[in-house]
């Protein structure tokens, strides 16, 4: 097997689990070699009239449990190895959340801030033209991710439907409500994580008003979880975005912070707060740390300086495997991304179900169902922890890997 076809990071992620479950080579191949990898370039006409070529990816990792599911990100540092790893993690996430999906991920190498809305629309449509033959409501279902949103999903759905000559709302999730999107979808990842944190703080007898929280990342996920936790009475002492951060040991009024960011385009110079960098935020003395930005934020270099008691991974893979070991030795409790940020894909699943039935639910119904799914997944996780006597991340991996391999065995792909 060519090295380029193997997910190198996946080996690192499942190394411990492979030993516990005594996985053979065929099982390791299923868990480290994506089923399908699409790499392509496509031209886009810019507003200036110039032609620019963009590189895009779509990785469909495993579909033993159902059609693949995963977001599309726009970021200048997108690369194939990252997309393979994220598709692998999506496979695990859907299994842990008990969704009838496999995992996928997609991305385009682009800095969206450098392009107009019209140019981004052309990029979005160009991407769909490249992958339209490999997606569909029962094949692979894209969704938003870093730097993409419901508007971009609307463009992508429209392009897909034009190419196919029929309506197919269940092919893409994270759409505007007017095009079949689900209520609560725009903050589902955040509130799903908040539900998980709520259970954890109850388990550890941490009262919200006495629980300090620092949130790294103030995009859709970070902003909304900061808002939700503030509304629930948690003391959010620090938040940051890609440019700067703010801190107040007595707590920030997140509603006012959001208003300030919307008016000024920045977090800095918010009233009654001090400036703080992303690096400093990660090392703050706080009960709860929420990394909600990009991957590999906590590494072996700074893990020793982390002072939080509990880390809720709202970003995908924000802690490196080496840092994970260091945090475990320090006694820091980590709730991995595979469950912590699964709220988004759970409500994407709800959207897919609603689109398929052409029957739509109220926001209250969506949130009630989401809380049930997150609670059930947490209970399963607790049982695996007890059965295997291992840490939280290992428990999640064991739980997910067992489900995926069981599906492969039932299909006759494993002996």
C-alpha distances out from residue 26 to 17, 399, 414, Å: 15, 19, 7
Residue with the larger pLDDT of the pair 321 and 215: 215
Q: Which residues are catalytic?
A: 105
Give the H/E segment covering residue 42: strand 36-45
In the listed set 296, 312, 335, which residue is the last one of a domain according to the structure?
A: 335
Specify whether 238 is located in the same domain as 324: yes
Specify whether 194 is located in the same domain as 323: yes
Specify whether 155 is located in the same domain as 251: no
Average pLDDT along the chain: 94
Three-state DSSP at 52 gives strand
Write down the pLDDT at residue 47. 98
Note whether residue 388 is domain-resident: no
Specify whether 95 is located in the same domain as 212: no
C-alpha distances out from residue 102 to 47, 51, 90, 108, 172, Å: 38, 36, 7, 21, 15
- From start to end of 206-252, where are the E strands? 212-216, 235-240, 245-247
Specify whether 143 is located in the same domain as 253: no
Separation between Cα atoms, residue 415 and residue 412, nearest integer Å: 7
Domain count, the chain: 2
Using the predicted structure, report yes or no on whether residue 3 has a pLDDT greater than 70: no
Single pTM value for the model = 0.89
Question: Is residue 217 a contact partner of residue 292, using CB atoms and an 8 Å limit?
Answer: yes
In the listed set 335, 360, 388, which residue is the last one of a domain according to the structure?
A: 335
Note whether residue 122 is domain-resident: yes
Write down the pLDDT at residue 1. 44
Using the predicted structure, report yes or no on whether residue 150 has a pLDDT greater than 70: yes
Specify whether 324 is located in the same domain as 215: yes
Question: Is residue 211 a contact partner of residue 233, using CB atoms and an 8 Å limit?
Answer: no
Specify whether 146 is located in the same domain as 200: no
Average pLDDT over residues 94-114: 97
Q: pLDDT per residue over 352-384, tens digit each?
A: 999 999 999 999 999 999 999 998 898 888 788
CATH of the domain at 211: 3.40.50.720
Pairing between strand 36-45 and 235-240? unpaired
Specify whether 232 is located in the same domain as 204: yes
Specify whether 85 is located in the same domain as 202: no
Three-state DSSP at 270 gives coil
Using the predicted structure, report yes or no on whether residue 343 has a pLDDT greater than 50: yes
Note whether residue 208 is domain-resident: yes
In the chain, what are the helix, strand and coil shares in percent, each to the nearest 5?
50, 20, 30
Note whether residue 203 is domain-resident: yes
Specify whether 329 is located in the same domain as 213: yes
Angle (nearest 5°) at CA 400 between 395 and 403:
130
248 — pLDDT class (breaks 50, 70, 90): very high
Task: Locate 133 and state its tokens.
Answer: 């033959």
Note whether residue 70 is domain-resident: yes
C-alpha distances out from residue 173 to 163, 176, 332, Å: 18, 9, 35
Note whether residue 265 is domain-resident: yes
Helices 150-164/117-131 angle, 10° precision: 50
Separation between Cα atoms, residue 146 and residue 142, nearest integer Å: 13
Give the H/E segment covering residue 155: helix 150-164
Using left for φ > 0, alpha for ψ between -120 and 50, and beta otherwise, residue 87 falls in alpha
Q: pLDDT per residue over 54-63, tens digit each?
A: 999 999 999 9
Write down the pLDDT at residue 111. 98
CATH of the domain at 45: 3.40.50.10860
21 C-beta neighbours (distance < 10 Å), count:
16
Note whether residue 237 is domain-resident: yes
Task: Locate 247 and state its tokens.
Answer: 């801190």
Specify whether 115 is located in the same domain as 199: no
Q: Which residues pair with 108 in a beta bridge?
A: 56, 74
Q: pLDDT per residue over 164-202, tens digit each?
A: 999 999 999 999 999 999 999 989 999 999 999 988 888
Range of the structural domain that residue 61 is part of: 35-168
Catalogue the long-range contacts made by 383-390 (C-beta closer than 8 Å, 24 or more residues apart): 388/20, 390/20
In the listed set 168, 199, 228, which residue is the last one of a domain according to the structure?
A: 168
Specify whether 46 is located in the same domain as 163: yes
Using the predicted structure, report yes or no on whether residue 2 has a pLDDT greater than 60: no
Write down the pLDDT at residue 14. 87
Note whether residue 349 is domain-resident: no
Using the predicted structure, report yes or no on whether residue 30 has a pLDDT greater than 80: yes
Average pLDDT over residues 392-413: 94
């Amino acid at each position: 097997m060519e090295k380029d076809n193997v997910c190198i990071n996946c080996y690192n992620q499942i190394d411990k689990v492979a030993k516990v479950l005594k996985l053979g080579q065929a099982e390791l191949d299923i868990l480290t070699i994506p089923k399908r990898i699409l790499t392509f370039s496509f031209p886009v006409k810019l507003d200036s009239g110039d032609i620019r070529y963009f590189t895009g990816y779509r990785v469909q990792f495993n579909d033993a449990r159902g059609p693949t599911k995963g977001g599309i990100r726009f970021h200048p540092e997108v690369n194939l190895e990252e997309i393979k790893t994220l598709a692998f993690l999506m496979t695990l996430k859907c299994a842990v959340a008990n969704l009838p999906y496999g995992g996928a991920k997609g991305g385009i190498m682009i800095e969206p801030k450098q392009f107009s809305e019209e140019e981004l629309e052309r990029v979005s449509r160009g991407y769909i033209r490249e992958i339209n033959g490999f997606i569909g409501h029962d094949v692979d279902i894209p969704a938003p991710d870093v730097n993409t949103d419901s508007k971009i999903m609307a463009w992508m759905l429209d392009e897909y439907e034009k190419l196919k000559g029929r309506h197919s709302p269940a092919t893409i999730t994270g759409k505007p409500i007017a095009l079949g999107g689900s209520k609560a979808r725009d903050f589902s990842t955040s509130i799903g994580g908040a539900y998980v944190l709520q259970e954890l703080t109850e388990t550890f007898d941490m009262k919200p008003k006495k629980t300090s929280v620092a949130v790294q990342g103030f995009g859709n996920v970070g902003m909304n979880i900061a808002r939700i936790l503030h509304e629930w009475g948690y003391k959010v002492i620090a938040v940051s975005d890609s440019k700067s951060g703010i801190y107040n040991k007595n707590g920030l009024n997140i509603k006012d912070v959001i208003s300030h960011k919307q008016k000024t385009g920045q977090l800095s110079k918010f009233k009654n707060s001090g400036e703080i960098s992303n690096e400093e935020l990660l090392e703050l003395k706080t009960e709860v740390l929420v990394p909600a930005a990009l991957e590999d934020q906590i590494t072996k270099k700074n893990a020793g300086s982390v002072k939080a008691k509990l880390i809720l991974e709202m970003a995908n893979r924000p802690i490196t495997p080496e840092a994970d070991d260091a945090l475990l030795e320090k006694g820091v409790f980590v709730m991995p991304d595979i469950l912590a940020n699964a709220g988004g894909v759970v409500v994407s699943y709800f959207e897919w179900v609603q689109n398929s039935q052409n029957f739509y639910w109220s926001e209250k119904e969506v949130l009630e169902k989401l809380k049930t799914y997150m609670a059930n997944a947490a209970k399963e996780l607790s049982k695996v922890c007890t059965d295997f006597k291992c840490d939280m991340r290992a428990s999640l991996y064991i739980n997910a890997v067992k489900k995926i391999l069981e599906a492969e065995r039932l299909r006759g792909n494993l002996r």
